Amino acid sequence: MLSVGNPVSYNHGSSTGNPPYPTDDPALGTTIMAVVYDGGVVMGADSRTSAGSYIANRAADKITLVHDSIFVCRSGSAADTQALTDYLKLYLGMHSLDLEEAPSVQTAAHLINQLLYSNKNHLMAGMIVAGWDKRNGPSVFNIPLGGGVIPELYSIGGSGSSYIYGYVDANFKKNMTKEEAQTFVKNAVSLAIARDGSSGGLIRTVTISADGVERELVLGDKLPKIGFGQ
């Protein structure tokens, strides 16, 4: 699990009525992923945001739109990743006005990497930038903690990713159909939720292609059950 680097502190209550739960900053102990399929990209994430052992938000949206067909999956400090994606959205908007066309996914990845690397001693953020553009088609870039731009056919991140590397490596294949990629992402995130205490809630997916953007929500009682002997 990615933490904010500070020990968990508890407020044990007082005459002011403060509740006895952890008071450290919210963090996205999380599972995020993105995969390229034949013609587009599927991104997926769980929805749990935690502050220590306290679940601050059980339905967070960790897949953030930064341009028409470019999204960012966020893991790490909730505040840091929200600030980074806000800046990225601003810069991409100005960049597209200068170009008079939509920016590329690669440009978005390098912009957010510059922000992250320049402030690496002050930020706790791991990102996946993915989307579709007319120059390169579908693209996925991993921006790890501390910076770096790594193009990949699939990428996973967050605390839950360590539980599903074997599943993802064994089941990924090139040129999947859209339906195969969507099922692959939902199964992987569901497995991570089952094993990782810092991942949970529901599953959000975003499918991006030349045809547009398609969002899907899988509620907690509808998650795929492919582990535990199912």
First to last CA, the chain: 27
pTM above 0.75, yes or no: yes
- Which of 26, 2, 25, 24 is CA-nearest to residue 11? 24
Least confident interval from 16-30, 66-80, 94-108, 126-140:
16-30
Model confidence at 6: pLDDT above 80: no
Model confidence at 227: pLDDT above 70: no
What's the pLDDT band for 27 if we cut at 50, 70, 90? low
Res 194: pLDDT: 92
Question: Average pLDDT over the chain, rounded to whole?
Answer: 88
pLDDT, greater one: 148 or 53: 148
What's the pLDDT band for 221 if we cut at 50, 70, 90? confident
Res 230: pLDDT: 56
CB-based contacts of 166: which residues, under 8 Å, 6+ apart? none
Active-site annotation holds for 30: yes
Residue pair 22/53 in contact (Cβ under 8 Å)? The answer is yes
Point out the catalytic residue in the list 16, 23, 30, 107. Answer: 30
Residues 3 and 6: their CA atoms lie apart, in Å, by 8
Coil, helix or strand at residue 170? helix
Instruction: For 110-162, write each residue's pLDDT tens digit.
Output: 999 999 999 999 999 999 999 999 999 999 999 999 899 999 999 999 999 99
Distances (CA, A) of 75 to 7, 52, 64, 170: 19, 15, 11, 24
Res 20: pLDDT: 53
